[in-house]
């Protein structure tokens, strides 16, 4: 179940670029999100922020916390709290795996991407281990080197 999922760019609604900078992603899971009617309209409009979000397992259920979905402009009384906890829709086996991985020291679950798949909002969550500052500098240095190599190869051919 833990496989790399890359949604099509036109279906991508929100992306957490900071997660790749701050964490080493060990495993990824695709999860559905339980949203209300006005929330899904706001998500489809791209009004979602995943930056400070994380997932937690409580009572055998996975919950997405600290993810901001802006209230829908025409939603009036049907709008809900933009920072409310949202249930993640996963299989029991996947929830158990996440629960076991969370017991290890230094691991957390972060949302990486939110996208549409067959009309449903999906979240790509990753089991992540925090990076130290020197790890972040090393990955930035490696990224710059790869960019320079690509630039040199482009000029050469």
Whole-model pTM? 0.80
pLDDT at 89: 96
| Residue located via tokens 């179940």 | 1
HEC profile for the chain? CCCCCCCCHHHEEEECHHHHHHEEEEEEEEEEECCCHHHHHHHHCCCEECCCCEEEEECCEEEEECCEECCCCCCHHHCCCCCCCEEEECCHHHHHHHHHHHHCCCEEEEEEEEEEECCEEEEEEEEEEECCHHHHHHHHHHHHHHHHHHHHHHHHC
From residue 45, give the alpha-carbon distance in Å to each of 41, 56, 70, 136, 154: 6, 26, 10, 32, 37
Can you list the domains of the chain with their CATH numbers?
9-131 (2.40.280.10)
pLDDT tens digits for range 111-151: 999 999 998 999 999 999 988 888 888 888 998 999 999 99
What does pLDDT average to over the chain? 88
pLDDT tens digits for range 58-77: 999 999 999 999 898 887 77
| Residue located via tokens 């979240």 | 123
**Separation CA 98–CA 22 (nearest Å):** 20
pLDDT at 87: 96
**HSE, side-chain direction, 13 A CA sphere, residue 5:** 22
**Separation CA 133–CA 127 (nearest Å):** 19
Structure-model confidence comparison of residues 110 and 7, the more confident one: 110
């Amino acid at each position: 179940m833990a496989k790399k999922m890359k949604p099509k760019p036109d279906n991508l609604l929100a992306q957490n670029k900071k997660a790749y900078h701050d964490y080493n992603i060990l495993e990824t899971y695709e999860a559905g999100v339980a949203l209300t009617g006005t929330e899904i309209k706001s998500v489809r409009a791209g009004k979602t922020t995943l930056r400070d979000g994380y997932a937690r397992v409580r009572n055998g259920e996975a919950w997405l916390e600290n993810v901001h979905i802006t209230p829908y402009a025409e939603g009036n009384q049907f709008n809900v709290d933009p920072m409310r906890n949202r249930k993640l829709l996963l299989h029991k086996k996947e929830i158990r795996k996440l629960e076991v991985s969370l017991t290890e020291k230094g691991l957390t679950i972060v949302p990486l991407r939110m996208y549409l798949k067959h009309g449903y909002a999906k979240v790509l969550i990753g089991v992540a281990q925090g990076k130290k500052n020197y790890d972040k500098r090393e990955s930035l240095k490696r990224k710059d080197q790869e960019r320079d190599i690509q630039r040199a190869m482009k000029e050469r051919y």
